[in-house]
Structure 1
Amino acid sequence: MRKVYSLLVVFLLVMSIQAQNELRRKVVVVRPVLYDSSVDFLLGFSDLLMKEGYKEAARFLKDYAKGGFGTGFVYADSVTGKKYVITNRHVVALAQSVTIEFRDNERNVSSYKDCPVAIVDEDIDLAAIALPDNVTVGSLRFADETPTEGRDVFTAGYPGLGDNPSWQFGKGIVSNAHFYDEELSKVGGNTILIQHTAQIDAGSSGSPLLIQSATDKNEYLVAGINTWKAYARENANFAIPTSDIRVFCEKYLSSAHIAKDDIRQRAETFVGLAEQDYKEMVPFIAYDYIASVAPSQFDSWYKTFPTNVRKDIMRQFRNNPIEGVRMALAYAVREKMRTKKISIEPVDNNSDGNTAETAEVAMKCNGKPATSKWIKEQGQWRLTELSFFRPKSYLSQSIIDKDYEYMNTLSFSYTHNLLNIGKPLVSMFGVSYNYMFNAFVVAEINFKKGKTFLPESGERYKMDIAGVSIGGQLPLALGKWRLVPYLGAYYKMAIGDVFRDYIGLSWGADLVYPLGQVAGVFVGVRYNTIPYIPGRFNLNQELYLGFAL
C-alpha cells in the first residue's frame, strides 16, 4: 500500500512539473522597442535638463529611453486561428514594435523581433501583439467565470530581478472579487477589478491571473490580467477580469478587416472633440507626431499652459514622459482648433487610403481647404499632421501669465526716504504677507519697525507701523522669469512717539524666479506716497526680498 501511495505522489509531482513547464511556454517576456522619435525626444530633453542642472531628472529620462519589459500570455483567436500575445496597454504604449521572448528556463530563450502591436484599447489597459505565423506554441484558454472571494489564484510572469526578467509563479487568494476605484477607472477603463494576494512585482504587468480548471487540475485558465499593485498595502494586487479581455479580443482581433469609413469616422470624432476636455484628444495623437516637437519647444509650451493643464502634464510626465508630451501636443492642437471653424470634407474629396498605413482626410479651416494626415499606429488611425497647425511656430500669443500661480508670498523689506538717500528721513525694516485672489488682484498685510529723523531740528521718532493694502498686478512671462508690475492703495497706522493713520498710493514691480513648480524667490521695489512725518509730503522707496508659494 505504501508503494501505491509513493507512486501516486511521484506521478502527481511529475504532472505538476509538466504543467508548470507547459505554462512557461505560454507566458512570455514583452520588450517594447520605442519609436525613434520618442527616443530622440527623451535623449534631447535629458541633455536640456542636464545643462540646466536637473541631473536626477536627466538621468531618469536617459534610462527611460532604454526601454523596459513586461509580461504577456499567448492567445489564439477562435475565428482566425491567429496567435497573439495579450498584455497591458501601458507595457507597449510607446512601442513601434515588440520583441517577444519565450523562456523555457533562464538560459534557453527564443526571441521574435519586430512583432507589431496589433491593437490597443483606448478605454481599458489592454493590448494585443501579433505573433509570426511560424510560432507553434500553445495558448492559454479563458476561464468562464470570475473567481469568488477566498478561491485560490495563481500568477505567472517575469518581474525584474536587477535589470533582467526572472520567472515567478505565485499563489494567493481572491480578496475582493468586485473591486472598484474611481482613480484607477480613469486610466484603466470603468471596469470592476479582481483584487488578490498572489505575488506580482515590477515587470509583472500583463501577466495572467490564473485558476485551476475544475476538470483538470494540471490546466491553468486565465481569470484576469495583472495590471496594478498597491504599494501602500500588503498583498493588494489588481487584475482586469477575463470578461473584459474576452470582449477586447472579440471586438478587435476577430475582425477580418477595417471598415471603409473608419478613417473618416475617426477624423469626424477628432474634430468634434475640439470643445471637449483636451485629454479626450490624447488617444488621437500619433507618437510619430512627437518628432515635430523639440524638447525646448515643449519646455516653452509648458510654461504658457494654464496651471491645471501643467499639473496634469507633469503628473503624467513623471510616470511616462512621452505620454506627457502627447498630452501637451493634444492641448496645443485643441487650443488651435478652438480658434477656427473646422469641418470634414465630403467622402469623395478624401484620399482613398482607408486600408493603407497612411491616409489623408480633406478638411476646411475657416472656409479654406486644409488637410489632416493620419497613420495606422498600434491598430488605430492617429493624427500625424494638420496643415493649419505647425508645432514649431506654436506659441502663446500673449506674454501675460493669466495663471500666475504663487498665491502666498512672504517678504522682508527696508524702507527709506527717496528724496534724501544719503541721510534718510525714514529708515524702517519690515515683513509683509501677500495673498493673491487671482493672477491680477492681491492683498497685503505688513508690519514695519524703525524711525524717522528731522535734519533741521535733529528730532527722532520711533515708529511701529501696521498696514493693509489692496491692488492690481500684471504678471508678464519672460522665459522662466516673471515681471510683475503693481499699483494699489494702502491704509497704515503708526504707533510710537507719534500716533497717526493715513492712506496713500503704492506702485512698483517684482521680479520672480521659480524654484520648481510650487515655489519661487523674488526681489522687488515699491514706492509709497504720503509722509511718515507730519506736515511734509514724501515719497518712500521700499526694497524687499521674498519667497512665493
Structure 2
Amino acid sequence: MTVLSVASAQNLRESVAIVRPKLSENTQAFLTDFSKSLRKDGFYSAADILENYGKGSFGTGFAYRNKQDNRLYIITNRHVVEQAEWVDIEFSLPDNSSKRFADCPVIGVHDDFDIAFIALPQGAQVPTLEITDKAITDGTTVFTAGFPALAEKPSWQLGQGIVSNANALIESLTHNKELPLIQHTAQVDAGSSGGPLLVRNEQNPDRFTVIGINTWKAVDRENTNFAIPVRAIEDFFQNYPTDANTLLTQADVTRKATALLQATKSSYEAVMPFVSYQYVSNISANTFYDLVFAASDGATKAMESCFEQGSPLEGIRVGLADIICRQFSGKNYTFSTVANLDSIHKTADVTYATGDKTITTRWTLEQGRWRLMEAENVKASRIEANGISKSYGFGTSIYLGIVSPLNNAFDLSYSLAFKRTILTFMTYEISASLLKLNTEKKDWEGLNEIVVPSTRNAFDINFGLGGQLPVKCGPIYLVPYAKVMGGLYLGSDVSGIDYGLGAGVEVAYKFGYQNYVFANIGYLGKKMKPFDDQTYRLKSKMLSGLAFSIGVSF
C-alpha cells in the first residue's frame, strides 16, 4: 500500500481541483475556422461541437505528491487536457474562496490509460490525498468528488454509491491492456472526469482514501460508471520520465521513432499516442472531409463516437492515426537518422528509408512525449493520395456551355445543365439547350414544288446518365467521363425526340466540401428524329459537335 497524505470530509475540497486546459492560439484559430467551414457546408451539429469546445472545457483533478521526486502533481484524465500543454488549476474552498495556479504544465500522459499528470509550482502548499491499491470487493461503499457542470459552470459535488463490479474487464477502454476497471454507482457527470473515487479510511473513518480515477459514464445504463485503479499511477511513474529535459536526446527520439514503425504494424489505436495535437491543428476543413472518406470503417466509427462525445480533436487524431498506419504498414520502412534536434523549440527531424526511397518526418515534444507533427507521406494539407479518387463528388453543380458543330446539321448552340454525382463514379444530369437547326423547307413556285434551305430554332431538353473516373493530381482532379442522353426538342415549326452520347475530360479544382469549379471539353453526338417532317425536311439526322463548358458545384 502506498500512503502519501490524508484528507477529511471537511478539507476534501482543498485537495480536489477544477482543471481548465489552455488551448494555444493556433488551436483556437483552427477550431474557429473549422467550425465556420462545417457550418457553411451544412454540418451544424459538428460545428456546434467545435465551437463549444473552443469556448473552453473543464474537468476535475486531485493533488498527489510523488514520493520518488517529492513533487506535487494534479492527477486527472488525459481526455481532460487533450490538445493542451498548459492548464489552470483552481481549488474552490469550503469558505467560497479560491486558490488558483495558472499555467501549470502537463508533464506527461499515459499512452495506454486515460490519465494525465500536471505539475504544480515549486513551493505550492496543497493538502494531498491518501492513495491505496488495496483490493476492494463488490458492494464496497465508495464516494466521488468533483466539479461537474451546473449551468455550464463547475459545481462541487460529493457523491456516494457502491462498487458494482470490482474487476470490470473492458479492453476497449484500456487499449486492450488487462487492467480491471472499478465499476460503481456513485454520481459521475460531465465535468467529473479525472476526479477521485474514494473509500473511507479504515483507521480513521473521517478521512478518505483514493482507490481510482473517475473516467467514464455508460450512457445506455443507469448508475454505471468506471474508474481507473490507482495502480496506473504507479505504472506511470515507473515507466515514464517526468522531466522533459531528459527526453531531449537523439536516443529518446530514436526510441520513439522506431516504436512508431512497430505500432503501424498493429492498428491505428497503437499509432494514436504518436500523433501530436499540432498535427491535428494543421488539418483544414477540406482535408478533414478527405480524412473521413479515406479512413477505414473502424476508424470512421471511432471518429463519429469522438464527435458525439464532445471530443472532436481526438476524432481527427483517430483519422490521422489510421492514415499514418496504412501509409507506413506494408512499405518495409526502416529507421534511418535523427537530425536537427532543437532543444529550445523541442523538435527533431527523423528520416525513414525503404529500398532507395527515403521520407522525412518532423517530431515535437508534447505533453512529455515525442510525437509526430508532420510526415512527408501523410501531409495534413493532402490526405488523399494521388490516383483514382474515392472521395470525389458533389451534390449539385451548374454548367454553362456551348457546342461548336462538326457537321452542317446545326449552328453554334448554348446550354445550361444541372448535374449530380452518385457514389463518386456515376452521374446524372438535366440539360436545356438552344439550337438553331439547319433544315430544308418545301415550298411552291407556281405549280412546282421546290426545296429551299431554312433554319429553325428549337429548345432541347435532355436527361443524361453517365460514368466517370476521377483521378486526383495534387489539388486538381482529371475526370474522364462518358454519358448517354435522351430527350425532346421543341420549336414553333419543328419538334421531335433526340438521343445520343457524349464523352470527354473534365478538370476540377476543389475549394470546399463537395465544392468544385470545372472546365470541360468533350464530344457530343445526338440523333434528331422529328415527329412530322412534311413541311421541314429535317428527317432523322445526326448532330455532332465539340462541347465546351464551365461549372461550379454548391
Distance across 1 between alignment mates of 2:362 and 2:122: 31
**1:325 corresponding residue in structure 2:** 316
Partner secondary structure for residue 296 of structure 1: helix
- Is the aligned partner of 1:372 residue 2:361? yes
Q: Residue deviations 1:445-474, cap 9 Å, x none?
A: xxxxxxxxxxxxxxxxxxxxxxxxxxx987
CA contact (8 A) 1:71 1:203 kept: yes
1:52 alignment partner AA:
D
- Is the aligned partner of 1:270 residue 2:260? yes
Deviation of residue 508 (structure 1)? 11
Partner secondary structure for residue 131 of structure 2: coil
Distance across 2 between alignment mates of 1:146 and 1:296: 51
Deviation of residue 185 (structure 1)? 3.6
Q: 1:207 aligns with which of 184, 190, 195?
A: 195
CA contact (8 A) 1:306 1:403 kept: no
Where does structure 2 lack aligned partners over 5 or more consecutive residues? 1-6, 394-421, 427-465, 484-500, 504-512, 514-554
Kindly report which structure 2 residues correspond to 1:293-442, keeping only aligned pairs within 5 A, or say none. Answer: 293-318=283-308, 319-337=310-328, 342-345=333-336, 350-351=339-340, 357-364=346-353, 366-367=355-356, 370-387=359-376, 389-401=378-390
Deviation of residue 307 (structure 1)? 4.7
- Is the aligned partner of 1:250 residue 2:241? no
**2:67 corresponding residue in structure 1:** 78
CA contact (8 A) 1:102 1:111 kept: yes
2:306 alignment partner AA:
Q
1:291 alignment partner AA:
S
Kindly report which structure 2 residues correspond to 1:439-518, keeping only aligned pairs within 5 A, or say none. Answer: none
Pair 314,175 (structure 1): closer, same or farther in 2 beyond 3 Å: closer
Q: Residue deviations 1:400-437, cap 9 Å, x none?
A: 53999xxxxxxxxxxxxxxxxxxxxxxxxxxxxxxx9x
**What value does the CA root-mean-square deviation take over the aligned residues?**
4.2
**1:143 corresponding residue in structure 2:** 132
Distance across 1 between alignment mates of 2:123 and 2:253: 31
Kindly report which structure 2 residues correspond to 1:143-292, keeping only aligned pairs within 5 A, or say none. Answer: 143-186=132-175, 189-252=177-240, 257-258=246-247, 261-292=251-282
**2:52 corresponding residue in structure 1:** 63
Deviation of residue 54 (structure 1)? 2.8
TM-score by length of 2: 0.66
Q: Residue deviations 1:326-364, cap 9 Å, x none?
A: 223233334444585533225xx6455579722233443
1:135 alignment partner AA:
A
Distance across 1 between alignment mates of 2:185 and 2:123: 37
Q: Residue deviations 1:182-215, cap 9 Å, x none?
A: 44344x8442111122222111111111111111
**2:446 corresponding residue in structure 1:** none
Deviation of residue 308 (structure 1)? 4.7
Distance across 2 between alignment mates of 1:396 and 1:360: 23
CA contact (8 A) 2:306 2:314 kept: yes
1:226 alignment partner AA:
N
Deviation of residue 164 (structure 1)? 1.0
1:117 alignment partner AA:
V
Partner secondary structure for residue 59 of structure 1: helix
1:90 alignment partner AA:
H
- Is the aligned partner of 1:117 residue 2:109? no
**2:456 corresponding residue in structure 1:** none
**1:35 corresponding residue in structure 2:** 24
Distance across 2 between alignment mates of 1:309 and 1:153: 36
Deviation of residue 238 (structure 1)? 1.4
Pair 106,189 (structure 1): closer, same or farther in 2 beyond 3 Å: farther
Deviation of residue 252 (structure 1)? 2.8
Pair 183,24 (structure 1): closer, same or farther in 2 beyond 3 Å: same
**1:14 corresponding residue in structure 2:** none
Distance across 2 between alignment mates of 1:182 and 1:403: 37
CA contact (8 A) 1:304 1:396 kept: no
Deviation of residue 181 (structure 1)? 2.5
Pair 52,351 (structure 1): closer, same or farther in 2 beyond 3 Å: closer
Partner secondary structure for residue 261 of structure 1: helix
CA contact (8 A) 1:227 1:238 kept: yes
Pair 244,474 (structure 1): closer, same or farther in 2 beyond 3 Å: same
Deviation of residue 475 (structure 1)? 7.1
**1:422 corresponding residue in structure 2:** none
Deviation of residue 324 (structure 1)? 1.8
CA contact (8 A) 1:224 1:245 kept: no
Pair 283,36 (structure 1): closer, same or farther in 2 beyond 3 Å: farther
Where does structure 1 lack aligned partners over 5 or more consecutive residues? 1-17, 405-435, 442-471, 488-506, 510-515, 517-549
- Percent sequence identity over aligned pairs: 36
- Is the aligned partner of 1:133 residue 2:122? yes
Pair 172,270 (structure 1): closer, same or farther in 2 beyond 3 Å: same
Deviation of residue 99 (structure 1)? 0.6
Distance across 2 between alignment mates of 1:274 and 1:172: 42
Deviation of residue 143 (structure 1)? 1.6
**1:500 corresponding residue in structure 2:** none
Distance across 1 between alignment mates of 2:242 and 2:390: 51
Deviation of residue 275 (structure 1)? 4.0
**1:4 corresponding residue in structure 2:** none
Kindly report which structure 2 residues correspond to 1:504-543, keeping only aligned pairs within 5 A, or say none. Answer: none
CA contact (8 A) 1:79 1:254 kept: no
Distance across 2 between alignment mates of 1:179 and 1:221: 21
Q: Residue deviations 1:488-519, cap 9 Å, x none?
A: xxxxxxxxxxxxxxxxxxx999xxxxxx9xxx
Q: Residue deviations 1:274-332, cap 9 Å, x none?
A: 44423322221111123332222222343344555433433333342111222232333
Pair 359,234 (structure 1): closer, same or farther in 2 beyond 3 Å: same
Deviation of residue 172 (structure 1)? 1.7
Distance across 1 between alignment mates of 2:243 and 2:35: 41
Distance across 2 between alignment mates of 1:124 and 1:392: 31
2:93 alignment partner AA:
D
CA contact (8 A) 2:360 2:375 kept: yes
Pair 141,274 (structure 1): closer, same or farther in 2 beyond 3 Å: same
- Is the aligned partner of 1:46 residue 2:35? yes
- The number of aligned residues is 420
Deviation of residue 175 (structure 1)? 1.8
Deviation of residue 253 (structure 1)? 5.8
CA contact (8 A) 2:287 2:382 kept: no
